[in-house]
Amino acid sequence: MASSSMVKMGSCLKADDVQELVKSKPGAEPERYIRPKQERIGCSALNAPASLQIPVIDMGRIVSGCHSTRQHEMARLSKACQEWGFFQVLNHGTGHWQLLERIKKVVMEFFKLPLEEKEKYAMMPGTIQGYGHGFIFSDDQKLDWCDMMALATMPKSIRKQNLWPDRPLLFRPDLVLGLSAHSDGSALTVLLQDDESVGLQILNKNLWISVEPIPGALVINIGDTLE
């Protein structure tokens, strides 16, 4: 039996590799992944119109704009934090947009590796670092239709260098969810979206709003700790 601390981490129960399921059984998702009708994308009356988008904040205006421009953008930032808890940020100072594109390319190349290669970095029981399917609390819960690679960087004491990879050198989205609805316990979460996929949705005023990717932008989530 798994210890309570392991269960709390949610990674002590192993699940099938989603990419391998897609290859071996295309269009035949296991029952554990199929969501109740009320949870499926497009089936909820709470889906917001596509025209409703989260705020976009320009950090360049705050950092180098004139006084009135800074005040205006800071007021928009404050409103976004208070009323949304989510926003996209442009001109964030993380370097040229090509750096972000290289990051996305490396990530995609890793997930294209053979399963045997990826399992060299498999999650260990009681942790959420490495490759696998985290946050599995029981044998009965509905699983997320995704594989994940999680690596901690700070503080340095929690880094697991043995899990940092040496390489890289058709499913039905109407029935499954890539990641279950949740809130982040952190202070801030910074997300880099794939420009070609609209998967992220946020809940605001009881409406699920799709976050349209903006090239070069980062998505900021005000986590539970800061909220």
Per-residue pLDDT of 37-71, as tens digits, reads 777 776 555 667 767 889 999 999 999 889 999 99
Which of 6-15, 53-62, 171-180, 205-214 has the weakest average pLDDT? 6-15
Residue pair 141/177 in contact by the 8 Å Cβ criterion: no
Tokens of 146: 């995704």
Q: Phi and psi dihedrals of 103, rounded to 5?
A: -60, -45
What confidence score (pLDDT) does residue 81 get? 92
Which of 68-77, 82-91, 107-116, 168-177 has the weakest average pLDDT? 168-177
Q: How much is the pTM?
A: 0.61
State mean pLDDT over 20-43.
Answer: 74
**CA–CA separation, 18 vs 226, rounded Å?**
33
* Alpha helices by DSSP H, the chain: 4-9, 18-24, 59-64, 67-83, 97-111, 115-118
Query: What radius of gyration do the chain's Cα atoms show?
Result: 19
**Looking at per-residue confidence, does 137 or 11 come out higher?**
137
What confidence score (pLDDT) does residue 71 get? 95
Name the strand (E) or helix (H) holding 220.
strand 218-222
Residue pair 47/174 in contact by the 8 Å Cβ criterion: no
Would the pLDDT of 14 be above 70?
no
Average pLDDT, the chain: 77
